Chain A
């Protein structure tokens, strides 16, 4: 799970987070986190984003409030999360006990040429989440910590925030369906039952 740089491999992290996922609901942020989540197995209980940068955490909150008995895991990137720092404050105020936000932090805008993000210059995302009032906020660097995060996402007291330090590797894309109507309808049918398709 560890690269020669001493950093976690992103696909191995996501595979572990989604191991025996049960009825976990997943929001995947745009870009590489989407491809990572899809590489772990395309699933109707995943809503993968191809755009709307900065939306992942808040989609997670709306879903968490609507489905309080389900566990919600948002997996996104550091660039995507940096675009929505205010969302961390909004989520902290709402205190959704069933929501975990996991940021795969490669300190890069990976899709656009690996330009450095703010986290490459010391901006502490986990510290920001802690300061807003997240129940748990941690930085993950080791495989056993990934397993602990996987368990927290399934049964820990939320809202939980985790910044997972990953290797800035460029991997082949693994693409889920791109059409939004398909993604919406398969997710709603899976979560709410086939009746959801009949409005």
Chain B
């Protein structure tokens, strides 16, 4: 070790940082004593410590904390078991309903199977549809329903079967869900509120299928998949929850705009959320984080 006037700053720094052995420290102090004009610099190094301001605290710690389980777990454990049982029974009851009373949204493969055997009521209600009519027919709803899926799969069967299938599909009274595109502004104040995190975790996290920032278009597409069946999440306003979730993720963005669109596909509903904000150009590194 040879400390001199050319390299003393590094030694002063190492002394201050505690990087020196006792022997080296002794030599540096001896050097500083020999050069009184440098002692002020050594003192300045030792003062160059940033001190944290203890008065700066994160105030709302409770908002960061997690509470046990989902909304059902908030109650007594036995109650949660009972609630799940009731939900299961309810679901089974809905699935076993006769077709005439079910809506398109609730139609499933079991319903359509039972409808293959035409009942007299169906024949009375449903007009016969010819093959030409069928060819010209465009789906009433752009979204693909279960019923239309069955029709496509049986396209090559006999005409008699085809008529049967028309009878099958028509009674399924599917009401198109033509939800208008909604524009939602994410207010950052939403994020600061105590969002029910349990709902986010249980009902949204699983459904966020992908986040696709489009660097060129200054936008990102969050594809959220959920079953076509009405679910508690949907009833509880899954859209709002997603907005909160995405808003939380994008809380760095200034006023991101979300455009929500619902697209029905074979057996799923996709909520496409367009995030519009030019800061998304910077967000590519975060896309895996949602």
The judgment on whether A and B are partners is: no
